[in-house]
Amino acid sequence: MKAVIFSEPNKVTITDVDEPFVGDNDVLIQVMSSGICHTDYEILRGNYGCNSFPLIPGHEFAGIIVEVGSNEEHFKVGDRVVVDPNIGCDQCRACLRGWIHLCENLGAYGVSTDGGFAEYCSVASARVHKIGDIPYKRAALAEPIGCVLNAIDTVHTKWMKNALIFGAGPMGILMGLTLKHLGVNDITFCDITESRLKLAESFGFEAIISGGDDMLKWEHCADLAVEATGVIDVAAKLPNYVVNGGKGLFFGVCPSDVQIAVSPFEIFRRQLTLAGSHSLNRNIPKALGVISKIGPALDPIISHEVTLSEICEILGGKIPMDSLKVQLKK
């Protein structure tokens, strides 16, 4: 079968490989849709994950089951499914608390073991969920929406009336749509890219240019301020926009070797809550419920549907202009 391979750090190719082995408790999925995530680039650079080269990347994927293991009783050939990529050890303190995403030995399909940028992927059936009649391209958003839901669970409270989100990329927009679904109706996006601000406006959100005068009115005003850019300067200024008693969420992936300065007195005096969020935590069914309710309104987030060869080129650096969520389409 054809697959994209990270053969070593900073080297990506497309090549023929053997179809994956299907264990007794596995299912073989024909991949129908698989999304590129910023994490994929960090894996390729050797900055994230286990440096498990060679590796087939791709951790946001959906497809159809074409083979089941001998012990499998819950799935059958022809089932339409999506994958929860996280693989915990089930033994560490985090796993025993139910926090698989914080596992001390966390692995994942597309990160530590072969994932969804291939024609087929063998997956443990425990990591698979049926999608019913949800289109594959929307179902492949279940993993990023699961990440959003995990983040929101960390900070959301019923008294929140507004949110300021830095970064109108795919994850920021998904954050906004999910918060709106939960009843936060006053949502403003801040970005430096005009096309992304227009996208935010197309979803009914307010949008302002980063660094502009409109930012002044948001100082100490956001019930929830979200950093969804991964830009260190944005992260450093996040507390300044949180209302007294409000919450700030670090949701973007900043470089691991940089730090920001915060004032302990300000956090104390203004009773701020600053939180981070990593990955998703066994919430794919909840994510599929959100996808079903939002429906076709999610589709504009998917800016490009491309071939496996094009996925290889994009991961290699040929990123389309004004791209949002880029997906492999069978």
Domains and CATH numbers, the chain: 2-140+282-329 (3.90.180.10), 146-276 (3.40.50.720)
> How much is the pTM?
0.95
Q: Determine if the peptide bond prior to 300 is cis (ω within 30°).
A: no
> Which secondary-structure segment (H or E) carries 149?
helix 142-155
What's the pLDDT band for 50 if we cut at 50, 70, 90?
confident
Q: Of 106-110, 138-142, 192-196, which range is least confident?
A: 192-196
The length of the chain, given as a count of residues = 330
Neighbours of 256 (CB within 10 A): 8
What's the pLDDT band for 306 if we cut at 50, 70, 90?
very high
What's the pLDDT band for 211 if we cut at 50, 70, 90?
confident
Taking 80 as the threshold, does the pLDDT of residue 299 lie above it? yes
Do the beta carbons of residue 89 and residue 30 sit within 8 Å? no
What is the rounded CA–CA span in Å between residue 82 and residue 111?
Answer: 17
> At which residue do the structure tokens 């996006």 appear?
189
pLDDT of residue 190: 97
Beta bridge partners of 187: 163
DSSP state of 321: T
What's the pLDDT band for 154 if we cut at 50, 70, 90?
very high
Taking 80 as the threshold, does the pLDDT of residue 122 lie above it? yes
Taking 90 as the threshold, does the pLDDT of residue 173 lie above it? yes
Mean pLDDT across 33-47: 92
What's the pLDDT band for 80 if we cut at 50, 70, 90?
very high
What b/e readout covers 13-31, taking b as 16+ CB neighbours within 10 angstroms? ebeebeebebbeebbbbeb
The per-residue DSSP string of 248-272 comes to EEE-S---TT------HHHHHHTT-
DSSP state of 19: P
> At which residue do the structure tokens 């985090």 appear?
94
